[in-house]
Structure 1
Amino acid sequence: MKLNNTTKKGAVALTIALVVFILIAFLVPFPRNGVFWTGFIFGVIAILAQIPIWMIAFKGAESARSKFYGMPIARIGTIYLIVQLILSLIAMFLSWVSVIPAWPFILIFLLILGAAALGTIAADVTREEIVRQDVQIKRDVNKMRELQSLGNSIASSCEDKSLTPELQKLADALRFSDPVSSDATYESEAELKRLLDDLQTAIFDGDTSGAQGLCKRAQSVLAERNRICKLNK
């Protein structure tokens, strides 16, 4: 897998953090008891855990928007890393106090690890829902964008001056209509598409009377479609 500059810098930072943490752990003459090993192991876990967290945060992040949505997940990982490393160092320093048992540290570190895991999962679920809604909205506005483009094309290409005002009025009405489609507006939009196609054909054939009738019908259907949109808000 090809790594981008951000990923490479992150990998270098993690490597440095791991090396520094190990050097501190083994250069300082800590007593190698249960408290020390608990702090050391959970510290290493926190550093290595950044790899899957970043993979989740930036999976499929080709666009700037995808990377932006992944930032809260990466932030959870970073907070977990900082908190755990601080507590791990505290635990290792407290290893000199022989009467302190290891189990409270194990319990606390497991709770922190669990909170980080749950936070990552929750943030990932939220991100996926936001992305799904973005895709849905983009898909839902495509139909009206197509109709607006067709309406503008018909109005701008018509050479019959008697039709131009009504065609421009229809194009403006399309442009200022609610752009979001739904199941409730499907039939109206399908009818609008058919009427606009017929209108384009009538103008091309020079059928002014027929074009005028189609234009009025299209305006009526569009008004009904807008009414449906308001009712479904």
Structure 2
Amino acid sequence: MSRNKKSGYIIVAIAFVLFNVIVFAIPTEKTSVFWIAYAFTLVAFAAQIAIWKAAFNKADTLKSRFLGLPIIHVGVVYLILQLIVFIVFMSLPTIANWIPVVTCAIILGLSGIFLISTDLGREEVVRVEEKVQRKVSSLKELQADVEMIAEAQSDPEAKRALAGLAEKIRYSDPMSDESLAPIEDEISTRIVALKTQPAADTSSSVKQIEILLSERNKKAKLLK
């Protein structure tokens, strides 16, 4: 169990104990309204455990843990709202039972919607980040290939052309899309072909790759 998760559980446990001590120490009439609101408040406390678990179970990296904080925030807000509503209904023990049921159910439902939406948002951010990282890694591999080809070249003109290509790959847009796959595959194929190409043809081949790279970057920019 991670330290953050353990700390969260301890905080919830302490808050739950304090809540019960205060609630049952105050001399109020324990009507059905009280017990309905109390039951929903217990659900809110229990939900905190599931929320903290959801927030940190998928947190493999520091960034993913940070992205889990909004989920915890929604959970805490839900608990606070439920506690406020409980206090209100505890002071109104004779109102109709349907009022606390409907009110607490609405709070629970809306909180659930916000929690699910927040978690989906986090998953989407992580998915996009992973996609970008894969593409950055792919571009770095292409850059490394070009740099190694340049190092193996003895022709000064070819070496300069390859160095320029490596620099352009380095600063290429890391974002990608399925529609860019054909042109990216062609760039990769042409770079591989440079390894066995005569030095005299390298400069012209590099120019063709640069044209493809420029086209790819422009299309990537339009897709944003």
Q: TM-score range by the shorter chain?
A: 0.7 to 0.9
Secondary structure of the equivalent of 2:156? coil
> Does structure 1 residue 103 correspond to structure 2 residue 94?
no
CA 1:152/1:93 → structure 2, altered by over 3 Å: closer, same or farther?
same
The answer to whether the Cα contact below 8 Å between 2:33 and 2:89 also exists between their aligned partners in 1 is: yes
CA 1:131/1:94 → structure 2, altered by over 3 Å: closer, same or farther?
same
Following superposition, the deviation at residue 43 of structure 1 comes to 1.9
CA 1:225/1:89 → structure 2, altered by over 3 Å: closer, same or farther?
closer
CA 1:187/1:117 → structure 2, altered by over 3 Å: closer, same or farther?
closer
CA 1:219/1:124 → structure 2, altered by over 3 Å: closer, same or farther?
closer
Letter in 2 for 1:200: K
Q: Partner residue of 1:55?
A: 53
What CA deviation, in whole Å up to 9, does each residue of 1:128-184 have, x standing for no partner?
Answer: 222222222223333322212212222244333342222222222322333333333
Q: Partner residue of 2:150?
A: 155
For structure 1, the residue ranges without an aligned partner over 5 or more in a row are none
Give, in whole Å, the separation in 2 of the partners of 1:191 and 1:201. 16
Q: Partner residue of 2:82?
A: 84
Q: Partner residue of 2:199?
A: 208
Secondary structure of the equivalent of 1:86? helix
Matching of residues 9-158 of structure 1 within 5 Å: 9-95=7-93, 99-158=94-153
Following superposition, the deviation at residue 213 of structure 1 comes to 4.7
Give the fraction of aligned pairs with identical amino acids, expressed as a percent: 34
> What TM-score does the superposition give when structure 1 sets the normalisation length?
0.83
Following superposition, the deviation at residue 231 of structure 1 comes to 5.8
Following superposition, the deviation at residue 110 of structure 1 comes to 1.2
The answer to whether the Cα contact below 8 Å between 2:162 and 2:206 also exists between their aligned partners in 1 is: yes
User: RMSD of the TM alignment (CA)?
Assistant: 2.4
Q: Partner residue of 2:184?
A: 189
CA 1:228/1:94 → structure 2, altered by over 3 Å: closer, same or farther?
closer
The answer to whether the Cα contact below 8 Å between 2:37 and 2:86 also exists between their aligned partners in 1 is: yes
| Equivalent pairs, count | 224
* Most deviating of 217-226 and 62-71: 217-226
* Most deviating of 216-225 and 193-202: 216-225
The answer to whether the Cα contact below 8 Å between 1:30 and 1:36 also exists between their aligned partners in 2 is: no
Following superposition, the deviation at residue 31 of structure 1 comes to 1.6
The answer to whether the Cα contact below 8 Å between 1:38 and 1:106 also exists between their aligned partners in 2 is: yes
What CA deviation, in whole Å up to 9, does each residue of 1:75-124 have, x standing for no partner?
Answer: 111001111112212322333xxx43333122211111111111111212
What CA deviation, in whole Å up to 9, does each residue of 1:184-227 have, x standing for no partner?
Answer: 3323332332332232234xxxx432444543443444344445
The answer to whether the Cα contact below 8 Å between 1:60 and 1:66 also exists between their aligned partners in 2 is: yes
Letter in 1 for 2:31: N
Following superposition, the deviation at residue 16 of structure 1 comes to 1.0
Following superposition, the deviation at residue 4 of structure 1 comes to 1.3
**4+ residue runs over 6 A deviation:** none
Following superposition, the deviation at residue 39 of structure 1 comes to 2.6
CA 1:110/1:132 → structure 2, altered by over 3 Å: closer, same or farther?
same
